[in-house]
Amino acid sequence: DAGVTQSPTHLIKTRGQQVTLRCSPKSGHDTVSWYQQALGQGPQFIFQYYEEEERQRGNFPDRFSGHQFPNYSSELNVNALLLGDSALYLCASSLRGAAAQQYFGPGTRLTVT
Amino acid sequence: GEDVEQSLFLSVREGDSSVINCTYTDSSSTYLYWYKQEPGAGLQLLTYIFSNMDMKQDQRLTVLLNKKDKHLSLRIADTQTGDSAIYFCAESMSGNTPLVFGKGTRLSVIA
């Protein structure tokens, strides 16, 4: 049973560029949440997708957008990258309506230069 | 507002017990979690507890919840070098609401 997978593992981008990160949820899960973890900090919630719609959003600007596909996989897009967007981006999957267990992927390390 | 506080560092000797503490402010939190993060890795869910419970034990892990004081602790018995990691406390209002994390406690185990 595959857990949560994310790609790519590492990414280096330049300020002003755009980036797309990908996540495949754990088998049987239908909800995907994205978190940003800056160095030395705890993860911060970006947004959550269920039934291909954004259901909840944290305090992040519109430069952060996402998408969920019919197979429940998800993408996180960040436009006009800033140096401060450098972080570990974590995807978590869960089954809506079930007991509270969000499983995290290994993350994508984004470096903006 | 929501806030989760943890001490940043803890150092213990191999074989001793570790106790990692956490306080939270949101009294409506229903679920409280402990996650483990090893260097360069994602988060591993260790255990969670419902707010109507006082204690949960799972092998070497014991979680204690004092809802009145909004205090959560994680005790690791017989701590091993492989337990060295950052431990995050997190809360949520329901199973589908966002997790709110503390900044993490870095546990160092001395052989």
Query: Block means of pLDDT (10 residues each) for chain A, length 113 residues?
Result: 90 98 95 95 95 94 97 98 98 79 93 98
The whole-number pLDDT of residue A74 equals 98
Write down the pLDDT at residue B28: 78
A interface with B, Cβ–Cβ < 8 A, is 4, 6, 31, 33, 35, 40-45, 48, 50, 56, 58, 90, 92, 94, 96-107
Using CB atoms, pick whichever of B35, B48, B101 lies closest to residue A100: B48
DSSP string, A41-110: S--EEEEEEETTEEEEE-S--TTEEEEE-TTS-EEEEE-S--GGG-EEEEEEEE-TTS-S--EE---EEE
Is residue B85 within 8 A of residue B71, CB to CB? The reply is no
Average pLDDT along chain B: 92
Span B10-35, mean pLDDT? Answer: 92
State the pLDDT at residue B51: 86
Q: Give the residue from A39, A101, A102, A111 with the most B CB atoms within 10 Å of its CB, the best one to mutate.
A: A102
Return the percentage of chain B with pLDDT > 70, whole number. Answer: 97
Distance CA A54, CA A46 (A): 10
pLDDT digits (tens, 9 = 90+) for B30-81: 889 999 999 888 899 999 998 888 999 999 999 999 999 999 999 999 999 9
Of B43, B44, B95, the CB nearest to A98: B95
How far apart CA A90 and CA A86 sit, in angstroms, is 13
Q: Which residue of A has its CA nearest to B29?
A: A100
pLDDT at A1: 62
CB of A33 closer than 8 Å to CB of A48: yes
DSSP helix/strand/coil, B5:
strand
